Amino acid sequence: MNEKAFNRFFYISLAVLAVIYAIGMQLDLMDVDSSTYALLSKQMFQSGNYLQLYLNGNDYLDKPPLVFWLACLSYKIFGIHDWAYRLPSVLCLALGIYSVYRYTKLFYTERAAKMAALIMASCMACYVMTSDVRTDTMLTGWVMFSMWQLAEFNRYLKLKNILLGAVGVGLAMMTKGPIGLIIPVTAFSIEFIYKRQWKSFFRWQYLLAVLVIAIVLLPMSYGLYEQFDLHPEKVMYDRTGTSGLRFFYWTQSFGRITGESSWNNNPDPFFLFHSFLWSFAPWCVFFIPALYTEIKNKIQNFKKPDRSETMTVAGFVLILIFLSRSKYQLPHYSFAIHPLAAVLTAKYLDARFTSRVKSKLFSAFYGIHIFLMFVIFAIIYLIVFYIFPAPVLFPAIISLSFCGFLYILFLRKENLSARIFLITLIPFATLTFIFNTHFYPKVLTYQTGSYVARQLDKTALEGSKLLIYRDYHGYAMQFYSQLPLTEFMDDTRLKGNLVRGKTYILADTAYIKEIQHVDPEITIEGRYYSHSPTLLSWKFLNPATREANVDHRVLMKY
C-alpha cells in the first residue's frame, strides 16, 4: 500500500470507527459507574452547586469533579441526554488519539504515527470507553495529551509545550487523581536515567509547570477542603475526620497499595495483565513481540543507549506493575496506558513492514493473529444466530464482511501492511457494529431500572410516581425517569403513598403477595427479567440457561 493509498485507508477507517462509536453513544447508560456519574452531573447541573459533590443529597468523595463539570457544560448546551454526558469524555479521547499520532511522529515515521493512532482507535478499550463512559475515557485523553506536549518540550525546550503539558497533567489529575501525574513523571524520569541525562531533571521551566498544575487544581482543592476538611464530623467510609485533600492526593491512589484505603477486591497479581489481553484486542497478539523486542533492545543498549525514546516502554511497563499492586483492581484501570501500547505496536509493525529480513517470531504471531480474527467472526455469528437471534439484515451484513475478510486474506495480492490492517479492522468494525446495533440494545432490556423508566415516561399519566419496593434498581433508573421516585419503600409506608391511577411499584416478584396484601387493587402491569449489563456470563448469554440466571422483577400499578 503506497503512501497515498494508506492515507486514504487511514481516514476512511477513522471515519467508519467514529460512526460506530457515535451509535454506541446512544445506548442506555450502564449501571453502576457511568450511570452514577451521569446522574451526579445531572443533579449538579440542576442544583447549580459546582464546587461540592453530592449524589442524592449525600456527600460524594469517590471521584474528582472534572468529568462532572464538563458533563454539566454539555447539558447546558445540548440538554440532559445520555449522549450529552458522554460527549465531553469522548472528545477528550479523540484528543488522546490525535496526541498518539503527534507523539509517535516525534520519534518515528509518519506511517508509524498513523498506525499508532489507528491501533488505539480500534482496540476494545477504545470501544468500551466510548459506550460505557467512566473517568478513564477522559483520563486517557489528558494523559496522552500531556505526554505529547512534554515530549515536544523535552526535544525543543519551547515554553508553550511545558505549559500545555502541565495543563494536561492538571486536568488528568482533576479527572482521576495522582495517576495523571504519575504516568508522565515515571515515563520521563526513566528516559533521563536510562540516557544519563541528569541535567534534564533540573530545568527551571519545571517550576512554572508545578505552578500551572497547582492553579488548575485550585478549584477542586478548595471544594474538597470546604466540603470535607472543614467538616471532620462527616462520616465517610464508616469513619469521621476524613480529609478530602488527603483522600484525593494520597488515599484514593496510594492508599490502595499501602492498605489505608478500605477498597479491596483481592485481585490476583496478574489480573491487569490478562485483562489487558482482551482490552487491547485485536492488537494484543502483535503487542507481545513488540514489547519483547523493545525490552530486549533497551537491555542490549543499556551501556551505550541509542537515540530511540524510552518513555513509551517505561511508562507502560512500570505503570502496569504499579497498578497491579493495588488491592482493588478493575479492567479499565489500565486503559490510560493503552495509547503507549499502541505506540509500541505501531513501531514494531512499521519495522517489520520495511524490513527485508524475515522474522520467525513475527510469522508465528501473524498466524496467531489470523486465528484470532476467525475467532472474532465466530463470536459475531454466535451472537446473531444463537445468543440473540437477529433479523436477516444482520447475518447478511456479517456474511458480506466475512467474504471481504476472506478475499483480502487469501485472494487479493496486497502487501503485508495492507493485509494486516484490513483483516484486523474488518472483523473489529463488524463486531463493534453488532455490539452497538444489536447485542447491547438487547442486553440493556435486562437492565430493568432504565428500561422500565423509559417505558413509563411514554405511558404514565401526568402526576404519576414510581415506588421502588424494598430494593434499589441502579442510578440509570433515576437518570432516565421523568417520574418522581422513591427507593426502599416498605409495607409500612406503602399505603400512605398510593394515589389511585398514578402510582407504579417496581419490585422483586417475591414481594407480589406482600404488596397486594397492603391493597388488593394493586395489579400487575408487566414482568421483567433483570441482569447487570456489565457482569455478563455464559450462563446469562446462553438462551438455554438464561432464565435461571436472571432476577425476576414485576411492575405493579394502583
pLDDT of the residue at 264: 82
* pLDDT tens digits for range 226-236: 999 999 999 88
460 burial via Cβ count (<10 Å: 0-12, 13-18, 19+): buried
pLDDT of the residue at 544: 96
**Which residue, among 109, 237, 262, 103, has the nearest Cα to 183 in the 3D structure?**
103
396 burial via Cβ count (<10 Å: 0-12, 13-18, 19+): exposed
Dist. CA 528–CA 256, nearest whole Å: 38
pLDDT cut 90: percent of the chain above it: 86
| Helix (H) or strand (E) run with residue 516 in it | helix 512-518
For residues 480 and 453, the answer to whether their CB atoms sit within 8 Å is: yes
pLDDT of the residue at 199: 95
pTM of the model: 0.95
- Chain-centroid distance of CA 159 in Å reads 32
pLDDT band at 22 (very low <50, low <70, confident <90, very high): very high
Dist. CA 294–CA 347, nearest whole Å: 9
pLDDT band at 306 (very low <50, low <70, confident <90, very high): confident
pLDDT band at 27 (very low <50, low <70, confident <90, very high): very high
CA-to-CA dists, residue 519 to 41, 466, 523, angstroms: 38, 16, 9
For residues 228 and 236, the answer to whether their CB atoms sit within 8 Å is: yes
* pLDDT tens digits for range 373-430: 999 999 999 999 999 999 999 999 999 999 999 999 998 777 888 899 999 999 999 9
HSE-CB for 243 with a 13 A CA cutoff: 6
* pLDDT tens digits for range 255-286: 777 777 778 888 888 999 999 999 999 999 99
CA-to-CA dists, residue 3 to 8, 110, 135, 136, 342, angstroms: 9, 10, 37, 34, 20
pLDDT band at 341 (very low <50, low <70, confident <90, very high): very high
Q: Number of helices (H) and strands (E), helices first, in the chain?
A: 26, 7
pLDDT of the residue at 473: 75
β-strand pairing of 503-508 with 485-489: unpaired
pLDDT at residue 124 is higher than 90: yes
Domains in the chain (CATH in brackets) are: 31-354 (no CATH), 448-557 (3.40.190)
pLDDT band at 252 (very low <50, low <70, confident <90, very high): confident
pLDDT at residue 181 is higher than 90: yes
pLDDT at residue 496 is higher than 80: yes
pLDDT at residue 254 is higher than 90: no
Peptide bond into 282 cis (omega under 30): yes
pLDDT of the residue at 17: 98
Query: Which range, of 74-88, 142-156, 458-472, averages the lowest pLDDT?
Result: 458-472
| Helix (H) or strand (E) run with residue 10 in it | helix 3-24
pLDDT at residue 64 is higher than 80: yes
pLDDT of the residue at 367: 96
